[in-house]
Amino acid sequence: MALLDITLAGSPTTWGVDFADGPGNPPWQQVLDELVSSGLGALELGPVGYLPEDPTALRGALGERRLTAVGSFVFESLHDPGGREQVLAVARRACKAINAAGGRFLVIIDRPGRVRAATAGQSPYASRLAKSRWLKMMDITTEVAEMAASFDLIPTFHPHAGSYVEFADEIDRLLDDTEIPLCLDTGHLAYAGMAPGEALARYGSRLIHVHLKDVDPHVLNRARLEGIGFWHAISASVFCPLGTGAVDLADVARGLETAGYSGYATIEQDRVPGTGTPLADLRASIDLLQRAGLGGSRESASAPVDSNA
């Protein structure tokens, strides 16, 4: 298989930074420096507020390290009708930061709440949103997407383990009810019981961004058998370096080729902040990706029914 036209990027997520104020988050300067040390030249910015939000300071932090910004994400409770103002406020901050950094994508994610996090990866036991609640979630999702477009950014929706858009039927429902393209994450697809390569090919016409992640099948199986929820599974190291878990990278490469995908692929490995060896894991992931025919370019660092959830 020929090397795909894919540019690898990194993310503070690999250092455990899911929330800007998370206890144990490493200093952002350390994350940027280690990301450069890995050989990558592009990154997603992580949760808004983790990196400096002042435009001059943000551009300076990336520019002096010759890092290119890909985008950032909104990781809020889209399924909560009462959270609209919070979602929109975070989205606006994220859009401003992406614009300041010269990025392109706003990744929209429904944050796992108590109900669905408990049944992550277990479709038969996971409650679906009632129609009225689902439509309200689609409304706020569309508002965020329209806000991104107003900033000349590309909105994309990320199906996420433990959220209300996790399984294939929910992805299909989202695609039927919105025009928003997809950001598919290989680890979250596997967590949800889907074959990542097949899903990438199946949804290729709506695929605009990719996250590369792997899951430890032993930890995942234990989480399902013992009813360990999503957040506890992360603490148990359910996510692992690419190529060492359940995700078949050759199959992922075939899926991306079938989809005709080209563009960024962001490497992520969710973990508890301060645990493991993020830089070593990232380097190992990059090496295995390139052996699998993924990531021909590292972008050389040369450019600045549940209604009670």
The owner of tokens 């995908």 is 261
301 lies in some domain: no
79 inside domain: yes
| pTM of the model as a whole | 0.94
Residue 228 lies in a domain: yes
Q: Is residue 186 part of a domain?
A: yes
Q: What is the pLDDT of residue 308?
A: 44
303 located within any domain: no
Range of the domain at 62: 6-291
User: How far apart, in whole angstroms, are the C-alpha atoms of residue 59 and residue 137?
Assistant: 33
Cβ atoms of 227 and 118 within 8 Å: the answer is yes
**Residue 9: alpha-carbon gap to chain centroid:** 12
Query: What local confidence, expressed as pLDDT, does residue 294 receive?
Result: 82
Q: How many domains does the chain have?
A: 1
Q: Residue 188 in contact with residue 107, Cβ under 8 Å?
A: no
Could you list the beta-strand ranges (E) of the chain: 6-9, 42-47, 68-76, 105-110, 154-157, 182-185, 207-212, 214-215, 239-240, 263-267
Residue 247, in any domain of the structure: yes
Question: Which position has the token pair 């383990």?
Answer: 161
Q: Is 152 part of a structural domain of the chain?
A: yes
**Cβ 51 vs Cβ 97: under 8 Å:** yes
The low-confidence residues of the chain, meaning pLDDT below 50, are 1-2, 300-304, 307-309
The order of strands in the sheet holding 207-212 is 6-9, 263-267, 207-212, 182-185, 154-157, 105-110, 68-76, 42-47
Distance CA 137, CA 309 (A): 12
- pLDDT by residue (tens digit) across 65-99? 999 999 999 999 999 999 999 999 999 999 999 99
CA distance 152 to 308: 35
User: Residue 302 has what pLDDT?
Assistant: 39
CA 189 – CA 168 distance, rounded (Å): 9
**Tens digits of residue pLDDT in 237-250:** 999 999 999 999 99
pLDDT of residue 300: 45
Residue 139: which CATH number?
Answer: 3.20.20.150
Tell me the C-alpha distance between 145 and 160, whole Å.
17
CA 60 to CA 44: how far, in whole Å? 16
At residue 3, the pLDDT reads: 57
pLDDT at position 296, please?
Answer: 57
pLDDT at 104: 98
Q: How far apart are CA 166 and CA 214, in angstroms?
A: 16
Backbone dihedral angles phi then psi of residue 297, each to the nearest 5 degrees: -125, 135
- pLDDT score, position 290: 84
Which H helix or E strand runs over 168? helix 168-177
> Rounded to an integer, what distance in angstroms lies between the CA atom of residue 125 and that of residue 116?
9
Residue 308 lies in a domain: no
